[in-house]
Structure 1
Amino acid sequence: MALDRDEIVQTVSEIWEELLDVDVDEDDDFFDLGGYSLLIVNVVTEARKRGLELSANDIYTHKTPAGLADALSAQAAPADGPADPDFSTVWESGLSPLGTEPSATLVRLAEGTGTPVFTFHWGTGNVRFMGGLVDSFRGERPVYGLEMVGMWSRERPALSLVEMASRYLREIRTVQPEGPYLFVGPCAGGRIAYEIGRQLEERGEEVAVLAVVNTMPPGTTELDAAWGLRELYEFRLAALRERFGVPDLLTDTERLMRGMAEIAWLDEGVDPADLHWRQAVWAAGIFAQEHYEPRPYGGEVTVFQLAEHADRPEADWGRVAAATETHTYESQGTLPLLRDASFAQDLAKKLAAYAG
């Protein structure tokens, strides 16, 4: 049975009060109360448990219990909402791996001598921005990046992190056929580096350095495991509108993409017509990350973490790795950490300790 307006107001208010630990009036703005993007996942999950079909975009668009109730009780679409292509349309525009030549994922980021360093894309799938950062820690070594399938083609990416890692490893071997290997994984790329390291260990090969940068261990999730690609895609579009103040992604695409490039969520040169495809690729990558079931790794993981995560039990890489070496910094996010001089110095020492 559908909830009426007053019941929706009450339900939404109760959920916000529980999650934010504040009193909520029907005209209170979710974000003014202290709400943030990832917490919306919890709001949507709790609402659906109570019989209220709510989406992330509803919260971004209406923001208050009263606004949500007015929209939902009238079965209204988000007011003046942009007509973004739905996920199915975008995904179907992609190419099956069966019907296209595999696109390259390996890109050279820096020339050099000695054993190369391999770094991996973060959640947005891009890695070329790392080219402007690697000189701070690579020494004289060459550096290669692995970017997600679909970044510059319409090939559909894998929905399995294990499959994704296997493909990247095949490309890594075209440059370095055998180990020991040097891996640096920022953010979501840390889990990819971990899985590749685990696959190499199974084959009796060595990873000399497996460094993860602001990466939560595999098996940790902050999203709803029940969400599929469509929910993740719609969540992403709504989050972009809110973060960059762009109500209509189709009208303001170029402004949005400039903002994304400034924080390295996009590399330079992306066609504005590919904006929605890139968000579908993001959804595929997050889906793979969220459904990755880790296996133990017998080697060492070098953890470069933010101070805000230091005391979180779920941030302990010792749960999945035989040994850890942990460094902690006061940076505010992955990109600031990658730019942190202390981090760069510590990573450079770790890489330099391997003489190959």
Structure 2
Amino acid sequence: MIPSAFVKMDALPLTPNGKINRRALPAPDWSQIESGASTAPRDQLEVMLIKTWRKVLGIPNISVTDNFFDLGGHSLLAARLLSEVEKITGRQIPLSVLCRGATVESLAQLIREGGEANPDPVVMEIQSGGDGLPFFAVASPGVETLGFGLLARHMGPDRPVYKLQGHAPIVVGRPFTKEDLRLLSQEYIAAMRAVQPEGPYCLGGMCEGVQIAERLVCDLEAQGQVVSLFAVFDTWVLQHSQRMWLWRIEYFRQRLREFKNMNLSQQWETCKRAVGTRWGMLTGESRGRNEWYSAYWPADFTPCRFRAPVVLFKRPKQPFYYVDDPQMGWGQRSQSGVEIHEIEFDHEEILREPYVHPLGEQLEACMRRLDKRTAESEFQPPEASLISSSSG
């Protein structure tokens, strides 16, 4: 893909290990970037939106067809932008609308039609792309998915990218149950096959989205479909991946840190909830943290084994309370092995700039290999197919 801007530097900043320090890279001066063929606003709504974009992005020359992300926009600026738009329109606008269209023109159309309040479909096209295999980004219901839009842009304009996200109630305070995952998988597969009826499929995600994606992989293979790529973004397998006693140390350390930052009223409410939870566990009215213990360290657990290869994008250094496994548990589940890509980032920032840039490029390189392999198998001469089948 072609970069939106270039920054001239005498030398690249490096980490102590000799790798490029992406955090130290200077941001482009977007105010100096000239738009292409400029399209002027056509009504008062577009005029107000243009003014808002200029204010948030700090760019004087913006066309109604300019893409927010091409102008240096990211998730934090997107939140600020839509907060300002809400003040103008008096309507609440979710961040996900920027996945449907990240231009003034498309946002104005959504607002005119009242479409910003409509929930996204279960499968939503983020990027139309070309003829290559589509990539399905899997997200759990209710989570913010703007980062997948950034990921798609860094995979290049020729890659079709879809978001899979259900409308089920948001799961808060407890892990997914087997029934939750079964129903979500059923919903996601139906939506995915409406776009791509047959495999090979390429999908991936992070955090709870990986739990759903893993179930998708197992269910698709059970239906006789091929999954050619299962991309995992810095997420461990859920079961038996953490050392319990070290996890407990980290858990209580985080809780203590949060408690110290609270005011007296918040501390009092926290203590009351803790006492209530403990009482509920003693009386059998509440399972409390037992649900999480059962999810993290289930007894007599047998994981689903699948044929799909895993492509794992991870930080070089993982939290201390996890087991010592560079494959983050996925090697014991994939019969085709794990391909590891290490990228320096904080876990919560993997789908933000600048870290999403190398992630998108490396994922796209994997997808191109699959495109080539798929094309070669589709255009295999009939004689070669006969020879292959008769030799068996």
TM-score between the two structures when normalised by the length of structure 1: 0.47
Greater Rg, structure 1 or structure 2? 2
Which structure carries more relative contact order (alpha carbon 8 Å, separation 6+)?
1
